Amino acid sequence: MSTEYSKNQIEALQEKAKRHLWLHFTRMSSYAAADMPVIVRGEGNYVYDQHGKRYLDGLAGLFVSQIGHGRTEVAEAGARQASELAYFPLWSYAHPQAIELAERLATKAPGDLNRVFFTSSGSEAVESAWKLAKQYFKAIGQPGRYKVLSRSIAYHGTSLGALAITGLPGIKEPFEPLPAGGIRVPNTNFYRAPEFVADDEAAFGLWAADEIERAILREGEDSVAAVFLEPVQNSGGCFPPPPGYFERVREICDRYGVLLVSDEVICAFGRLGYYFGSERYGYQPDIITFAKGVTSGYAPLGGMLVADHLMEPFSTGHATFLHGVTFAGHPVSCAVAMANLDVFEKEDLLGNVRANEAAFRATLEKLYDLPIVGNIRGDGYFYGIEMVKNKETRETFDDDESERLLRGFLSTALFDAGLVCRADDRGDPVIQLSPPLTCGQDQFNEMEQILRSVLTEAWARI
Ligand SMILES: Cc1ncc(COP(=O)(O)O)c(C=O)c1O
C-alpha cells in the first residue's frame, strides 16, 4: 500500500490542519512556520508519514499500540461489530461484547477484582475510581472519607477530578481551584532519593511508603478514601517501585481502611510482561484502572476492575452507583478489545516481553558511555533515560537549558532521525520508550543507534 501523498494533498492537509486542528498539549505557535507532522499509516512496529518516510514507533503511539499497527483481524472485528450493533449504552442495558470482555478481564485480573465498570478513556477511569471510592464510603457509613493521595509528578489524567489527583503543578495551575482532596506524597525516584536513604533502595522504598502513612495521619485517617499509584510511575521517567514499597503500602492501606487504586492505564496489558502491573510486583489492589493497551488503540476504551467488597453496597435494594458516560464499553471497542486479547494469546506477547526485556535493557544500557546519560530505568518494555549535565554530581539542566535541549532540539531531532519517542521535562529531563510488545532485538538496536547519534549531537550543542 502506498503511503505517499501528492504535493497538493500534503499542502492541502497542512493548510486545513493549521487553520482548524488543535493539537493536545502542543504549542500551536511552533507550527506557524513549520509543518505539522502527519502520520498516515502504520504497519507492525512502524508508522509512516505523508511523504512515505518510516518511523520506529518507540512510544506505541502514546503507550497504546501493544500489538503494533495494521492488524486487519482486529480492525475487521470492529467492522463486524459495527454492522451488527454499532451502539447501545451500558445504562440499564448490557450487550454481549461488554459481558464477554468483562468476564475475560476479571478472569485475568489479580484476586477478587471481579467487577468491570467501563469508561471510554483513562481519565474517566481514574475519575470513576475516585467517585466510586467516595460513594462507597458514604454507603458504608464513613462519609468523611473523600481525600486521595498520589505521588508528586505522577500523571493520572486531565479531566478535573483526575487532574486533582495528578501531581504536576504546571498542568494544574491554569485550572485551579480543582476539586478538593488531592494530596501529594513523595514519588519513588531512587536516582534522586533523599540523602539519608540514597544508598539503600529498600530503605528508600519503606521511607516512601511510610510517607503515605504520615500523610494519612496528617490529613486525618477518617478523611482519606484512596491512594492512587501506578505500578511503574510514568511521568518523571519510569520509576519502578523500590523493593518492599507496595507491600508496605498495602499494609498501610489495610491498617487505615484506605483503598489502594493501581492506575494501570499504561502498565496493564503487557507493558511490563504481565496483563497487570500489580501482578508483576505482587500486590493486590482494590481497584485497577485501565485504558490504552486494552484495545491497542484500534478503538477507544477504558475502565476499572473493582474488588467484590466495593460492589457489595451497590448490589442490593435501591443502591446505584450514580455515574456513567455515553460511550463507555462501546460495542465496537469491546469487540476490538476481545480481538486484541486474542492476538496477545496467539502470539504470546507477554512471553515475548519477558523473554526480551533483559536484552532491551542491556541494549539501552550501552548508552551509559555517553556523558549526557545519567540514569536508565524501567521494566518490561517501558524505559526512561534521564539526561544530566554532570554524571558524577547528577546535576540536571536548568530551565533554559532544558527548554533548548528538549524542545529546541531533541524532540525534533529524534523524530527526524526516524524514532517516535518522548522527550519530557515534567520532572527531570528524560526520554521515554514504550514500544509495541512485538519489538525484538532489531528494533532495540535501531532505538539505541538513533538515540546514540542524537544524544551525542545534543551534548555537543550544550
Ligand atoms: C497513569 C495514567 N492515568 C491516566 C491517564 C489518562 O488517560 P487518558 O489520556 O486516556 O484520559 C494516563 C494517560 O497517559 C496515564 O498515563
Residue 123 CB–ligand 1 contact under 6 Å = yes
Side-chain-side CA neighbours of residue 90 (13 Å): 25
Residue 228 CB–ligand 1 contact under 6 Å = no
pLDDT per position as a tens digit, 198-253: 999 999 999 999 999 999 999 999 999 999 999 999 999 999 999 999 999 999 99
What DSSP state is assigned to residue 143?
Answer: T
Those residues with Cβ within 8 angstroms of residue 317's Cβ, 6 or more apart along the chain or in another chain: none
For the chain, percent of residues with pLDDT exceeding 90: 95
Q: Is the dihedral of CA 416, 421, 423, 426 positive or negative?
A: positive
Q: How far is the CA of 453 from the centre of ligand 1 (A)?
A: 31
Q: Which atom of ligand 1 is nearest to the CA of 266?
A: 16
Residue 291 CB–ligand 1 contact under 6 Å = yes
CB 40 within 8 A of CB 3: yes
By most ligand atoms within 8 Å of CB, the mutation choice from 239, 265, 290 for ligand 1 is 265
Ligand 1, atom 2, lies closest to the CA of 156
Q: How far is the CA of 430 from the centre of ligand 1 (A)?
A: 18
Ligand 1, atom 10, lies closest to the CA of 122
**pTM given for the model:** 0.98
Cβ count within 10 A of residue 271: 29
Rounded CA separation 78/300 (Å): 11
pLDDT of residue 283: 98
Cα angle at 64 between 58 and 68, to 5 degrees? 65
Give me the residues paired with residue 259 across strands. 226
CB 453 within 8 A of CB 413: no
Residue 451 CB–ligand 1 contact under 6 Å = no
pLDDT of residue 257: 98
Residue 126 CB–ligand 1 contact under 6 Å = yes
Residue 267 CB–ligand 1 contact under 6 Å = no
C-alpha cell at 454: 542524537
Cα angle at 330 between 117 and 231, to 5 degrees? 45
Predicted confidence pLDDT, tens digits, the chain (462 residues): 556 799 999 999 999 999 999 999 999 999 999 999 999 999 999 999 999 999 999 999 999 999 999 999 999 999 999 999 999 999 999 999 999 999 999 999 999 999 999 999 999 999 999 999 999 999 999 999 999 999 999 999 999 999 999 999 999 999 999 999 999 999 999 999 999 999 999 999 999 999 999 999 999 999 999 999 999 999 999 999 999 999 999 999 999 999 999 999 999 999 999 999 999 999 999 999 999 999 999 999 999 999 999 999 999 999 999 999 999 999 999 999 999 999 999 999 999 999 999 999 999 999 999 999 999 999 999 999 999 999 999 999 998 888 888 888 999 999 999 999 999 888 889 999 999 999 999 999 999 999 999 999 999 988
Residue 230 CB–ligand 1 contact under 6 Å = yes
Cβ count within 10 A of residue 439: 24
Q: Is 320 helix (H, G, I), strand (E, B) or coil?
A: coil
Rounded CA separation 418/447 (Å): 9
Q: How far is the CA of 157 from the centre of ligand 1 (A)?
A: 5
